[in-house]
Structures are given as C-alpha cells and as structure tokens.
C-alpha cells in the first residue's frame, strides 16, 4: 500500500507542477508570463528592434515622428513606428514601456492623427482556469493523504499522530524466532516451568481434565544477561500460536490516555487471535508502584498500569491469553500486578552454576573451532559468576582474538585474554618507568601474597603489571564455586587481601610514600566492614540489623534518607567499623613484614615476566614459607 502511494505521488507531483506552470503561461500572455522583459509575444508586423523611453516617445508624438502605435498588456507595453532623423528618416519599430492605458494618451494619439491599435491580453480557456484554481488544493490534499498513509508502515512518520492509540506490538501468527528450548541452556528449572505453559497452549485438555486452569501470566525475574528474553523467544518458537511482543516503554507516551488506549487495543487484538502469547519486556517501565515519586507520580503511567491490571484480571477476564513479562527490578513492581490471578507464576532466571555454564558453552561453541587441549569444562571453571550473555560474549571475543592472531583454533590463551578483557577492560601498553613499575609490582604482590597466606582467602589466579582499563596492575582471585554463604573469617580475609597493596607500600617505601593506588581497595574495605557490623551482626554490637534496606526516592517512600538508628548507635557503628579495619590492617602489615624476603623475590620475578599465573606464584611462595591449605569444595559436574 505505501509503495503504491509513493508511486502515485511521484507521478502526480511533476504533472501538477507542469499543469500549474502551463496555466500561468497561457493565462498571462504566453512566454511573457515567464519573462516579462521579453516584450510582446505577437507583433502585427515585424518585431521591435530597439527600445525607447516614455519621455522620448512623448517628444516624438509632439514632433509628429510617430506613425503607428500597437498597445499590449493593458497599456503596459507598446510597439511604435518612429521616423528617426538621425538615420535618414528611416522608420524603426521600437518598444516602449507605458505607465498604463491612460485616457490622456489615447486623446493625444487621436489629436495627432496617429494610427493606434489596442491588443487585448490572451486568456486561458475557462476549463483550464478552473483546473488551475483547483490544482493547488488537490495537491495539498493528496500530500496530506500520502503522509498519513506513510505513517502506517514507517516509524517516526507524520502519520504516527493518527496511530497514537494503536498498539506498537510486533505480531506474528507463528513466530519464527529461530530459537527453541534446546537452544536455551543453564536455566533448567525455568525451562521446566515454561514448557508447561507451551503444553497448556498445545494440549490444554491434559490439564483441564483434572480441573487445572491455564495460568494468566508468567513473570521472568533475574539479573541482566541471564536469558529472560531468550526464553521468551524459545516459547514463541515452540508454542506455534499467535505471538505479540513489545517493550513496556512502548505503552507510555507524553499524552495522557495514550498508554491505556494502547493496552486496550493490544488485548482487543489478542482476543481476536486467542489462544495467544503476549510478551512484555522490561515491564517495570509501566508496572512500577502507583503513587510513586514527588507529586504522586506520572498520571499517564498510572492510567496505563490501571488499564493493564483491568485487562489481565478484570470483570471480563481474558481466556486463552497468557502474558509473559520480564524484568530485572521486581522490587519496584506494583503489588497488584504481582498477585496470583495476574502473574500466577514468578520464574527466577539467575546466574548459572558450573553445570549451567558448561551447558551454555556447549550451545555457543557449536560454530566455534576449539583447540584440542581446550575443554569447555576448563572455561566453565574459569568463569564463575558469568551469565549466559557474558559467556556468549566471551567465546565471541576469543574468536575475534584468534582471527586477529591468524590462528586456526581458539586456544586457552585467547580464552584467558578474553576473560581479562571482559572483566578489566582492554589491554594497555606495558609500563616502562622503573620506579612506577616497581611500586605497582609491590602493590599487586602485596595483594596476592596476603591472599595466599591467609587461609580463608580465595586462591590467586593471576598477577599482572600490564595495564587494563583504568588499572595500572591487577590481581585476580578465583572464588570457590560452591560458596553460597560467606563466613566471618572469609570476610575478614577479603578485607586483609584488599589492604595487602597498601600494607606492602607502607612496609617497603614507608608511610610517607604510600600512593593513591589503594583508593578503590579502601572503599571496598569500608563497605565490607560496615555490612559486617550493620547487616550481618558480626561485631561486638551483637546480631542486630542496624540498617534496613533503604527505599529509593522514586518509589515515594521518603524524600530524604531516614536513619534507622539513634545518634549514639550510629557513633558505635562508626567505632566498630574503624576498629575492625584497624585490626585487619595491623595484621596485614605484620604478615607482609614477616615475609618481606619472599615479596622481594616475587617482585623481581613479576617485573621480569610482567604476568604470573596462580600456580607459579604459589610455587615461588612455597620456597620461602608453608602455604596454608585452602578450605574449598570442588564442584562435581556429574552430580
């Protein structure tokens, strides 16, 4: 339809312009309408060969040197025959610009006995004049229709103004997303719940025969990158029913009432195609708690949410329509939206464990060429805390590095470099300044040495002096895979490990030479110590929660942060945090000072090779002192 209208416009506009110009030409005396200075179009005899001023023309009339006058254009132009005595009294035809057809000029010509003739201007036929008068309005109306039609299929077109109240949902009778449940890995529990939804749609009699009711809504909850949208694509690909997909932000517009109208239009179309699925991504954009924010919140968003609540479980109800929504902020959703009857199921899609990461890697490694000595299990163990999106990005970055290095297969080196790039940023140029490089080496070795010598700390994975991102040097620790709960000893060990860099600078260079390199470490230490005191009850104040979860201002709870403790308790909290950090720092400095010889040897080796893995680091430390055995529970993939 839009293509047809564009073709019509391409034909109508040039023809209309041509007709308009033609009408002007015919209606204003031919070519003279285009160029008024070109003189009369038709001369009774020969064309004029020169020009004569109006004053000279009057002088010639009084002198009797004008023999004939032809007047054109209502008295604006004239062609005269004049006898010029300067060229042997020959007769010339000259053009004169007249001020108008004045009666005095006609009387003068009559008195002097000069022959004159008045030529009326040529006019266009009445039909052509009517067409010229209607041409511009017709072109204007046609252009408006074209723009209105154009808005239906072109986002952002002017015709969008006529489509404000219509839903922007993408519709597919049978969504060909190219994703099935076999392509989604690492979220087996979520897949099981969602497979039941697909079975509901395909074979409802299996459930209705025992009195089960089809769920009205399923809410996917989880951090970014865990596969919520991918699961929705898999459901669309498996269900084989009409599928609507849109984002929560597409409901809300600047004008009040537009979002509610789009909700009504969406469910109207869904009822016409039931049974069907509606997927709303980032539903927190429209489903946030009502009455939120300064001034009571946004009326447009609240009206949209009210209409959504009514459509999901109102007086009429919606049979055969399943709402699938995704969010990573379930804490901000309105309680009326979360209740059973609207979202009957809440499926948590969390970061995968080691088995989940292995299955995700198997999916994304289907089209990757891996080296023979590289196993997906080793990559899964190397990437604790990675989500499905992170793992996909990891293999893609490793493949890019492999192509850049002109290799045929992805090796362990490319995987390690890709992990480092994702976590810390792009690799920079190695340091060349001897003093700065040595200072950074002591700082990083301090972190790694304390983490190695403290029993409850996670093992060192890598130490490097190569800058990445904003950091001039980095030390990685690999956390315990099965570590779901963190003990007080582990938190204390992490504080000491974070303070190891500052302690090394203090011991080696002196208190006056410590640098700002430990700024991020100190912030991390302060956060962990305060949480131990206020949230986890790991201080002399006892097992008391002294700080609640603060509510954000936009939720409309409090316009200012409200303290949950008295001034005296707040003072005690500060004292406990300060004492805890001071004791940990003193122990860290003592530990570093006791193993100064080992640290100097490690620094020399690190400056030489710039990057040292955890095994080599521990081997060098073991030459000087015994390393405490880490209490770790190895993950078993077969369980």
For 172-224, give the DSSP string. Answer: ESS---S--GGG--S-HHHHHHHHHHHHHHH-THHHHTTT----SEEEEE--T
CATH of 170-348 among 3.50.50.60, 3.40.50.300, 1.10.1060.10, 3.30.420.40: 3.40.50.300
- Phi, psi of 331, deg, nearest 5: -70, -20
Torsion of CA 18, 20, 23, 25, to 10 degrees: -70
Q: How far is the first Cα of the chain from the last one, in angstroms, to the nearest whole number?
A: 59
Alpha carbon dihedral 383, 385, 390, 392, in 10-degree steps, equals: 50
Percent of the chain scored above 90 by pLDDT?
A: 13
Lowest mean pLDDT among 6-20, 354-368, 399-413: 6-20
Whole-number Å distance between alpha carbons of 137 and 268: 38
**Separation CA 553–CA 570 (nearest Å):** 22
pLDDT of residue 599: 92
Q: How confident is the model at residue 208 (pLDDT cuts 50, 70, 90)?
A: confident
What is the bridge-based pairing of β-strands 217-221 and 115-118? Answer: unpaired
Distance CA(131)–CA(347), nearest Å, equals 68
Per-residue pLDDT at 555 exceeds 80: no
Mean pLDDT of 415-433: 79
Does residue 557 register a pLDDT over 80? no
What number is the average pLDDT over the span 329-340? 86
Pick from 612, 587, 591, 594: nearest CA to 602: 612
CATH topology of domain 354-423: Helicase, Ruva Protein; domain 3 (1.10.8)
Answer yes or no: is pLDDT of 348 > 90: no
| Average model confidence (pLDDT) across the chain | 78
Report whether pLDDT(159) > 60.
Answer: no
Mean pLDDT throughout 439-452? 91
Q: Which of 500 and 146 is assigned the larger pLDDT?
A: 500
* Residue 123 predicted with pLDDT over 70: no
Segment (H or E) for 388: helix 388-404
Q: Mapping DSSP to helix (H, G, I), strand (E, B) and coil, where does residue 96 land?
A: strand
Torsions phi, psi for 109 (to 5 deg): -60, -40
What are 474's strand-pairing partners?
464
**Could you tell me the strand order of the sheet in which 66-72 lies?**
50-52, 90-97, 77-84, 66-72, 115-118
Mean of the pLDDT values across residues 611-630?
85
More confident residue, 573 or 187: 573
- Residues 136-152: tens digit of each pLDDT: 677 778 777 766 665 54
Mean pLDDT, residues 298-323: 77
Average pLDDT over residues 624-631: 76
Taking residues 95-119, report their average pLDDT: 79
CATH number of 434-622: 1.20.58.760
User: Tokens standing for 21?
Assistant: 């110009």
**Which region among 182-196, 253-267, 336-350 has the lowest average model confidence (pLDDT)?**
253-267
What whole-number distance in Å separates Cα of residue 448 and Cα of residue 619?
Answer: 13
Residue 94 has pLDDT above 50, yes or no: yes
| Contact assessment for residue 198 and residue 179, using Cβ atoms and an 8 Å cutoff | no
Chain centroid to Cα 4, Å, comes to 33
Instruction: Tell me the domain boundaries of the chain.
Output: 31-118, 170-348, 354-423, 434-622
Q: Tokens 């005095």 appear where?
A: 104
Report yes or no: 586 and 567 within 8 Å, Cβ to Cβ.
no
Q: pLDDT for 38-56, tens place per residue?
A: 443 334 444 556 788 888 8
Identify whether the C-beta of residue 472 lies closer than 8 Å to the C-beta of residue 453: no
In this predicted model, what pLDDT tens digit does every residue of 457-490 receive, in sequence order?
888 888 988 888 777 888 888 876 556 788 899 9
**Cα separation of 298 and 405, whole Å?**
54
Phi, psi angles (nearest 5°) of residue 619:
-65, -40
Apex CA 219: angle with CA 216 and CA 225, to 5°? 150
Strands (E), 531-610: none
Selected residue with higher pLDDT from 180 and 522: 522
Model pLDDT, residue 426: 75
Tokens of 388: 């499905």
What is the per-residue pLDDT for 92?
80
Mean local confidence (pLDDT), 561-581: 83
Task: State residue 34's pLDDT score.
Answer: 36
Contact 556, 291 (CB under 8 A): yes
Q: How many residues does the chain have?
A: 639
User: What's the confidence (pLDDT) of residue 563?
Assistant: 61
pLDDT at 523 over 60: yes
Cα–Cα distances in angstroms (integers) from residue 344 to residues 32, 69, 180, 207, 219, in the given order: 81, 99, 24, 16, 8
Q: Is 285 helix (H, G, I), strand (E, B) or coil?
A: helix
| pLDDT above 50 (res 556) | no
Query: Which whole-number Å values give the CA distances from 515 to 362, 495, 511, 576, in the listed order?
Result: 45, 19, 9, 26
Please report, rounded to a whole number, the percentage of residues in the chain having pLDDT higher than 70. Answer: 77
579 has a pLDDT exceeding 60:
yes
Does residue 71 register a pLDDT over 60? Answer: yes
Whether residue 521 has pLDDT greater than 60? yes
Q: Is the pLDDT of residue 518 over 90?
A: no
Tokens of 180: 């099935």
Q: Please, are residues 245 and 282 in contact by the beta-carbon 8 Å criterion?
A: no
Q: For residues 270 and 170, is the Cβ–Cβ distance under 8 A?
A: no
Give the pLDDT score at 292. 57
Instruction: Name the phi and psi angles at 20, rounded to 5.
Output: -65, -45
The greatest distance separating any two alpha carbons of the chain, rounded to the nearest whole angstrom, comes to 137
pLDDT at site 526: 93
Which comes out higher in pLDDT, residue 403 or 468?
Answer: 403
618 forms beta bridges with none
pLDDT at 91: 79
What is the set of active-site residues? 444
Asked if the model's pLDDT at residue 634 lies above 60, the reply is no
pLDDT classification of 578: cutoffs 50, 70, 90: very high
Please write down the long-range contacts of 604-608, taking CB distance under 8 Å and 24 or more positions apart: 606/441, 606/444, 606/445, 606/463, 606/465, 607/437, 607/438, 607/441, 607/465
pLDDT band with cut points at 50, 70 and 90 for residue 15: low
Task: Name the percent of the chain in helix, strand, coil, to the closest 5.
Answer: 50, 10, 35
Query: Mean pLDDT lowest for which of 5-9, 77-81, 558-562, 621-625?
Result: 558-562
For tokens 């604790």, the residue is 384
Collapsing DSSP to helix, strand or coil, 247 comes out as strand
pLDDT, residue 601, reads 92
Secondary structure of residue 638 in the 3-state scheme: coil
Q: Rg of the chain over CA atoms, in angstroms?
A: 43
The CATH architecture assigned to 31-118 reads 2-Layer Sandwich (3.30)
- Establish whether the linkage from the previous residue to 275 is cis, with ω within 30° of 0: yes
The Cα-based distances of 241 to 78, 87, 203, 207, 277 in angstroms read 83, 99, 12, 18, 7
Average pLDDT over residues 60-87: 81
Q: What is the pLDDT of residue 504?
A: 92
| Inter-residue contact 174 to 240 (CB < 8 Å) | yes
| Highest mean pLDDT pick, 16-20, 232-236, 248-252 | 232-236
What is the structure's pLDDT at 501? 92
Q: Quick check: 160 pLDDT over 70?
A: no
Contact 171, 159 (CB under 8 A): no
Q: What gap in Å lies between CA 69 and CA 82, rounded to an integer?
A: 9
Q: Which residues contact 574 (CB under 8 A, 6 or more apart)?
A: none
On the question of pLDDT at 635 being above 60, the answer is no
pLDDT at 157: 47
More confident residue, 282 or 49: 282
């Amino acid at each position: 339809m839009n293509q047809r209208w564009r073709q019509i416009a391409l034909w109508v506009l040039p023809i209309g312009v041509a007709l308009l110009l033609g009408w002007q030409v015919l209606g204003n005396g031919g070519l003279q309408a285009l160029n008024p200075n070109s003189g009369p179009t038709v001369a009774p005899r020969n064309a004029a060969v020169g020009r004569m001023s109006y004053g000279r023309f009057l002088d010639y009339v009084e002198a009797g040197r004008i023999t004939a006058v032809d007047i054109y254009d209502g008295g604006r132009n004239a062609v005269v025959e004049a006898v010029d005595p300067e060229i042997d009294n020959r007769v010339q035809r000259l053009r004169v610009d007249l001020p108008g057809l004045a009666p005095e000029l006609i009387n003068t010509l009559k008195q002097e006995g000069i022959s004159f003739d008045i030529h009326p201007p040529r006019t266009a036929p009445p039909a052509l004049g009517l067409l010229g008068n209607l041409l511009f309005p017709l072109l204007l109306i046609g252009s408006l229709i074209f723009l209105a039609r154009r808005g239906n299929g072109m986002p952002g077109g002017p015709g969008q103004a006529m489509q404000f109240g219509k839903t922007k949902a993408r519709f597919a009778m049978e969504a060909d997303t190219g994703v099935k449940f076999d392509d989604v890995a690492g979220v087996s529990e979520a897949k099981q719940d969602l497979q039941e939804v697909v079975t509901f749609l395909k074979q409802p009699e299996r459930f209705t025969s025992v009195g089960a009711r089809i769920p009205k809504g399923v809410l996917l909850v989880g951090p970014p990158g865990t596969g919520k949208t991918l699961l929705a694509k898999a459901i669309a690909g498996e269900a084989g029913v009409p599928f609507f997909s849109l984002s929560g932000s597409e409901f809300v517009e600047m004008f009040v009432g537009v979002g509610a109208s789009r909700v009504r239009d969406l469910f109207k179309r869904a009822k016409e195609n039931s049974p069907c699925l509606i997927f709303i991504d980032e539903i927190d954009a429209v489903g946030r708690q009502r009455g939120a924010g300064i001034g009571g919140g946004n009326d447009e968003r609240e009206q949209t949410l009210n209409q959504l609540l009514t459509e999901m479980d109102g007086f009429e109800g919606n049979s055969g329509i399943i709402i699938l929504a995704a969010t990573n902020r379930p804490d901000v959703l309105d309680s009326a939206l979360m209740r059973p009857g609207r979202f009957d199921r809440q499926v948590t899609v969390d970061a995968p464990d080691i088995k989940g990461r292995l299955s995700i890697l198997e999916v994304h490694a289907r089209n990757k060429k891996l080296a023979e000595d590289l196993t997906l299990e080793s990559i899964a163990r190397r990437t604790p805390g990675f989500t499905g999106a992170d793992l996909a990005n990891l293999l893609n970055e490793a493949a890019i590095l492999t192509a850049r290095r002109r290799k045929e297969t992805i090796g362990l080196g490319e995987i390690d470099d890709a992990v480092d790039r994702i976590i810390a940023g792009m690799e920079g140029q190695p340091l060349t300044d001897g003093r700065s490089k040595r200072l950074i080496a002591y700082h990083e070795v301090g972190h790694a040495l304390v983490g190695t010598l403290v029993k409850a700390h996670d093992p060192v994975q890598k130490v490097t002096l190569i800058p990445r991102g904003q950091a001039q040097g980095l030390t990685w620790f690999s956390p315990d895979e099965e570590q779901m709960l963190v003990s007080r000893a582990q938190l204390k060990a992490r504080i000491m490990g974070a303070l190891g860099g500052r302690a090394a600078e203090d011991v080696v260079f002196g208190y006056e030479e410590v640098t700002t390199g430990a700024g991020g470490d100190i912030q991390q230490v302060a956060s962990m110590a305060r949480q131990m005191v206020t949230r986890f009850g790991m201080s002399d104040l006892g097992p008391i929660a002294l700080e609640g979860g603060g509510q954000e201002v936009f939720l409309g709870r409090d316009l200012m942060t409200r303290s949950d403790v008295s001034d005296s308790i707040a003072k005690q909290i500060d004292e406990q945090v300060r004492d805890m950090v001071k004791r940990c720092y003193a122990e860290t400095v003592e530990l570093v000072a006791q193993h100064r010889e080992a640290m100097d040897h490690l620094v020399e080796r690190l400056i030489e090779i710039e990057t040292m893995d955890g095994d080599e680091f521990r081997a060098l430390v073991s030459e000087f002192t015994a390393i405490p055995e880490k209490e770790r529970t190895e993950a078993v993939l077969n369980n």
